[in-house]
Amino acid sequence: MPMTPEPSRRVAWISRLARLEPVAFSRWDALHAALSVAIPTVVGVAIGQGANASLFALGALPAITGDRTGPYRARARSILLTVATGVAGFYAGMLIHTVGLESHWLAHVLLQLAILLLSFIGTFGNVASAATLQGAVYLIVGWGLALPPPEWRAPLLLAAGGIFSVMLMAIHWLRHPGAAERDAVAAIYQQLANVLDASGTPRVRLARRSLENAIAAAYDTLLTARASTASGWDVLERRAAQILAAEPVTAAVIGLAQVGQPLPAPLGRALYAMARSIARDHPINVSAAADAATDNHAPALAAALHRAEPLLTGTVHAAEPPLVALARHQARAPAHPRWMPKWPWPDVWRYLVRIGLCVLVAQIFIAVTALPRSYWVPLIVVVIFKPNYGSVFARALQSGVGSIIGVALSAAVVAIDRNGLVSFVALIPLAACLPWALRRNYGLFSALLLPILMLVMGALQPGSQDIALARFIDAVAACAIVLLVGYLPWAKWERRQLDERVAIALDALGRYAALADTHDADAAFAARRASYKALDDARIALQRALSEPPLVSRRAARWWPALISLERVANAITDTVPHGDDHDAAVHPAAAVLTHMAAALRHGGAAPDLPAPPVPGIDRMLDEALREAIGLLFGAADDGREAPRSTPHAAP
């Protein structure tokens, strides 16, 4: 069986909370973030408009922390939508603040309803989730700040700050029009090198996940650019060829990693060099990489590199245009996010109930404690409680630790600042590191975001150093509310959801096997995408659960090898069923087995029994993958835990 998988039980779950994602520091992202905050701040201070400059800089934050993957057009659309939602939320918050001057409790009710509405819209997909998160954050900020009239001035300054930040991005995009596609391709080879370096260590699971994500992102980036570009086809064809060249190399790298032993460092260095050549548009020295593989006893990798060399260097033209071949192979990559999903309604309502209860308790905390500017409590609750941004439990603890560091940092700056210069000097490096911190660890992100917000908003509402202590109490209270109200009462349900995620993937694989056995190519293609998407969703759910307490993480660790085996089943269906042997069954035998497995997993039934091979209609490769999956799934099901029970569809 593949050895990538199950994280060692000797590693305590709490240590995963401090793990940093292996993300490179982007100098352009840092420069863009620093300029987006520094330029308006300098201009505002110079002309004596520090408060207006702070609103301008505050408007740039959604663009700084926005999505930086995919083609430029998709990035711009996503970031502009996020900025617009933030501005609209801020204006709505100002209106609620005005209502609160006459009816305090009515304002709290309106705030609660607005947050629930934004949270509901956020279940539409990842783009909507990012936009509505900013909308909810700025809604609460607009509600909490008491700004002088006219009412249109603050939203206009926020919008101007966001547009200014996007314009800075556009300058870079115009100077490097093909950089998004180039970087997406280079990321594949970078992650292949990471897998080789992580082989034989617990990091290999994370490295494989990053590789899969890089491949999916490259597919979507290239094909989106193909659909929206009228020129530059030669460059896109070259990038598509480089993605296709990664397929044999990926198979060889995964084969080496599955041995479970550390690999010689020159193998990783060879692929790092290839990634750098692609990223810098330099000639790719494939022969040097192949020689390194041969010298370090990796003949399969050397052979794969020799096979990939014509596509990587463009020395041989393929019979099929690379972009066409890329579109045909795209179903092996996880589907890109949908704007409008098919909602699992029970889980949407459950999510709304959980976040609604957390915000309600946060508002009660505000009323009881009467701390200054305690709108931070619901603000932090909303930021933490985004299920599609990772484990709620992990983010609550990370945010708590990060907030302690952030409050200490901002308090130190406020203590020594006398004329605003120290705050300005501190703001630039904090903003520059923010995009990098967001991708590395949520606690690190919180440690930087909190002082940025405190320093920027301090110009809008000047206060004493006691404000830092109040922010610390707010952060701890928000994390406690999320853990005690939004997580712990639901922990057993989260545990059962892992079983349902795997069962959903089995159902999707069963439908795919059935349709792949027919002559309906379009239906088979759609089923293939759905099956890989279901596997991707299950993998994300398990990875999040690994950062949670043993009640949940033990279940995730048991399911992990089984999920890897189901990915092998999916690949075997793709490779064998459409061209397989004839059979007499009404549906493909593999489809019946997979559907049986899903029902048994949900209801605690017996595992399906496969007859001795050969099974009519089932290729040897698929037969082996199915037997391995049955052993891992139902071996885990009987491994000292209760039989899985039926649960609703996966949470949003």
The end-to-end CA distance of the chain, in Å, is 31
Q: Do residue 214 and residue 325 come from a single domain?
A: yes
* Residue 420, amino acid: G
106-110, 342-346, 441-445: range with lowest mean pLDDT: 342-346
Question: Is 419 domain-assigned?
Answer: no
Indicate the DSSP class of residue 386: -
Residue 10 has pLDDT above 70, yes or no: no
338-359: b or e for each residue (b if 16 or more CB lie within 10 Å)?
eeeeeebeebbebbbebbbebb
Provide mean pLDDT across the span 326-345: 49
d(CA 434, CA 428): 10
133 & 240 share domain: no
pLDDT value, residue 305: 92
Tens digit of each residue's pLDDT (9 = 90 or more) over 380-401: 888 887 655 566 777 777 777 7
Residue 298 per-residue DSSP state: -
Percent share of the chain, pLDDT over 70: 81
Of 240-249, 351-360, 618-627, the range with the lowest mean pLDDT is 618-627
> When comparing pLDDT for 286 and 21, which is higher?
286
Q: Give the confidence band of 374 by pLDDT, cuts at 50, 70, 90.
A: confident
The alpha carbon of residue 244 and the mean position of all alpha carbons in its chain are separated, in whole angstroms, by 24
Inside any domain, residue 154 = yes
* Average pLDDT value for residue range 260-281: 88
Say which amino acid occupies 635. G
Q: How confident is the model at residue 46 (pLDDT cuts 50, 70, 90)?
A: confident
Residue 521 covered by a domain: yes
Q: At residue 209, does pLDDT exceed 80?
A: no
Residue 439, pLDDT score: 75
Extract the tokens encoding 248: 């044999």
CB 70 within 8 A of CB 180: yes
Q: Are residues 523 and 616 in the same domain?
A: yes
Provide the token pair at 486.
């939004």
Nearest to 195 by CA among 212, 218, 183, 182: 212
Q: What is the pLDDT of residue 531?
A: 87
Indicate whether 75 and 154 sit together in one domain.
Answer: yes
Residue partners of 326: CB distance under 8 A and separation at least 6: 219, 222, 223, 240, 243, 244
> In the chain, what percentage of residues exceed pLDDT 90?
14
Q: Which residues of 44-53 are buried (b: 16+ CB within 10 A; e: fewer)?
A: bbeeebbbbb
- Tens of pLDDT along 552-577? 777 888 888 888 888 888 878 877 76
In a domain, 317, yes or no: yes
Residue 95 falls within a domain, yes or no? yes
C-alpha span between 594 and 626 (Å, rounded): 8
User: What long-range pairs does 645-648 form, CB within 8 A, spacing at least 24?
Assistant: 645/496, 645/499, 645/602, 645/603, 645/604, 646/500, 646/602, 646/603, 647/493, 647/496, 647/497, 647/499, 647/500, 647/602, 648/344, 648/346, 648/347, 648/350, 648/500
Same structural domain, 165 and 186: no
The residue segments making up the domain with residue 128 are 49-176
Same domain membership, residue 270 and residue 233: yes
Both 165 and 236 in one domain: the answer is no
* Residue that finishes a domain, picked among 130, 146, 176: 176
Asked if residue 278 lies in contact with residue 242, where contact means CB atoms within 8 angstroms, the answer is yes
pLDDT of residue 325: 59
pLDDT at 423: 77
**Cα 63 off chain centre by:** 17
Q: What tens digit of pLDDT does each residue of 120-170 get? A: 888 777 778 888 888 988 999 889 888 888 888 999 999 999 999 999 988
For the segment 171-190, what is each residue's pLDDT rounded down to a tens digit?
887 877 778 888 889 989 99
| Encoded tokens for 48 | 């004596």
Domain boundary among 273, 304, 332: 332
Q: What is the pLDDT of residues 430-446, one digit of tens each?
A: 888 888 887 777 777 77
pLDDT band for 84, please (50, 70, 90 cuts): very high
| The predicted structure's pLDDT at residue 357 | 92
Residue 60 in domain: yes
Indicate if 208 and 315 belong to the same structural domain. yes
71 and 181 Cβ atoms separated by less than 8 Å? yes
Q: Is residue 618 part of a domain?
A: yes
What band does 506 get if pLDDT is binned at 50, 70 and 90? very high
For residue 338, what pLDDT band results from cuts at 50, 70 and 90? very low
pLDDT of residue 192: 92
pLDDT at 339 over 60: no
Are 111 and 248 found together in one domain? no
- Domain finish residue from 152, 176, 200: 176
Please report the pLDDT score of residue 257 as a whole number.
85
* DSSP label of 370: -
Please indicate, yes or no, whether residues 186 and 323 belong to a single structural domain of this protein: yes
- Do 195 and 165 belong together in one domain? no
The tens digit of pLDDT for each residue in 460-469 reads 666 556 676 7
593 inside domain: yes
b/e per residue, 432-467, with b = 16+ CB within 10 A? bbbbbbbbbbbbbbbbbbbbbbbbbbbbbeeeeeeb
Same domain, 192 and 326: yes
647 vs 474 pLDDT, higher one: 474
The pLDDT of residue 586: 62
Provide the number of structural domains found in the chain.
Answer: 3
Quickly state the pLDDT bin for 62 (edges 50, 70, 90).
confident
DSSP 3-state of 125: coil
What pLDDT is stored for residue 420 in this prediction?
67
Interval 477-503: pLDDT, tens: 888 898 899 888 887 777 777 888 899
Q: Average pLDDT of the chain?
A: 78
Among 10-24, 38-52, 211-225, 599-613, whose mean pLDDT is lowest?
A: 10-24
pLDDT at 8: 45
Question: Which pLDDT belongs to residue 99?
Answer: 92
- Per the structure block, which two tokens stand in for 354? 């959980």
Confidence label for 321 from pLDDT (cuts 50, 70 and 90): low
Tell me which of 335 and 327 has the higher pLDDT: 327
Contact present, 392 and 487 (Cβ < 8 Å): yes
In contact, 600 and 590? CB cutoff 8 Å: no
Q: How confident is the model at residue 7 (pLDDT cuts 50, 70, 90)?
A: very low
